[in-house]
């Protein structure tokens, strides 16, 4: 069984910049000399190939394939960035079909990943064909994601920001990981982060350094999450 502690998984409701952030993070890490693999979203590929969205009975296979591809990438690369995981499929199965059967296995897989990054809802919604249902689904899906992560005590960081700021905030979350700090490239990553932080301070007012910390946000969503529970 591969070690999945070096997997960074991006989660989030539709049109919150998961794919763009995954690719920009991968480039930043590669620029610092890290061998970083990207695992794309299986659902996107499935919809492109089939020309439709999946039925309820097809969700489990999509979730399994996503988890399998992440595990395979972890066997070949020391660092993996996953554009969503099986947990995202489980959330949509719950939201769209009231099917909560995928949560257990998805949570088990998610617990083995080194870090979960949840993309915030501060980006404007943009249509994307079969992939997106509309801006009205973002808040309930975001609430279900947070509920699933909290129910299983899975640590996560929330990433906010526009443009380059979003990438900077995500990179900040990564640089704090103990195993990443132990790598020879950690110094280069730290220097890159300091440069980005200094540039940001020249262009905008100070913000709380914990503004993307999921732990600071959890209390804000108590009301939304209290109505539902995840097994």
Mind giving me the DSSP string for 96-129?
HH---TTHHHHHHHHHTSSEEEEEPS-SPP---G
Composition of the chain by helix, strand, coil, percent to 5: 55, 10, 35
Q: Is residue 1 part of a domain?
A: no
Containing structural domain, residue 16: 7-225
* Amino acid 108: pLDDT: 94
Which segments in the chain show pLDDT lower than 50? 205-206, 209-210, 218-231
* Amino acid 222: pLDDT: 38
Structure tokens at 94: 């719950």
pLDDT in tens, 111-139: 999 999 999 999 988 877 656 677 788 99
* Amino acid 187: pLDDT: 79
CA dist., res. 26 & res. 37, Å (int): 7
> Domain holding 59: CATH number?
3.40.50.300
**Structural domain count, the chain:** 1
* Amino acid 148: pLDDT: 95
Q: Are 114 and 179 in contact (CB under 8 A)?
A: yes
Torsion of CA 130, 163, 155, 80, to 10 degrees: 70
Q: Is the dihedral of CA 60, 85, 66, 140 positive or negative?
A: positive
* Amino acid 230: pLDDT: 39
Q: Is residue 2 part of a domain?
A: no
Q: Are 145 and 96 in contact (CB under 8 A)?
A: no
Q: Is residue 51 part of a domain?
A: yes
Q: Is residue 34 part of a domain?
A: yes
Q: Is residue 180 part of a domain?
A: yes
CA dist., res. 115 & res. 84, Å (int): 12
Q: Is residue 230 part of a domain?
A: no
* Amino acid 192: pLDDT: 76
């Amino acid at each position: 069984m591969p070690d999945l502690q070096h997997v960074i998984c991006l989660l989030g409701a539709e049109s919150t910049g998961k794919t763009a952030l995954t690719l920009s993070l991968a480039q930043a890490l590669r620029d610092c000399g890290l061998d970083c693999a990207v695992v794309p979203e299986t659902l996107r590929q499935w919809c492109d190939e089939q020309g439709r969205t999946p039925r309820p009975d097809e969700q489990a296979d999509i979730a399994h394939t996503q988890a399998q591809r992440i595990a395979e990438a972890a066997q070949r690369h020391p660092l993996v960035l996953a554009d969503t995981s099986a947990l995202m499929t489980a959330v949509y199965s719950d939201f769209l079909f009231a099917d909560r059967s995928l949560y257990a296995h998805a949570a088990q897989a998610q617990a083995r990943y080194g870090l979960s990054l949840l993309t915030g809802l501060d980006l404007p919604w943009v249509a994307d064909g079969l992939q997106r249902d509309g801006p009205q689904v973002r808040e309930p899906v975001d609430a279900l994601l947070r509920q699933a992560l909290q129910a299983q005590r899975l640590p996560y960081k929330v990433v906010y920001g526009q443009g380059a700021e979003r990438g900077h905030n995500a990179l900040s979350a990564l640089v704090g990981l103990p195993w990443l700090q132990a790598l020879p490239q950690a110094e280069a990553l730290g220097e890159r982060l300091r440069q980005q932080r200094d540039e940001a301070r020249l262009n905008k007012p100070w913000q709380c350094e914990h503004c993307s910390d999921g732990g600071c946000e959890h209390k804000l969503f108590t009301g939304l999450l209290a109505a539902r529970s995840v097994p």
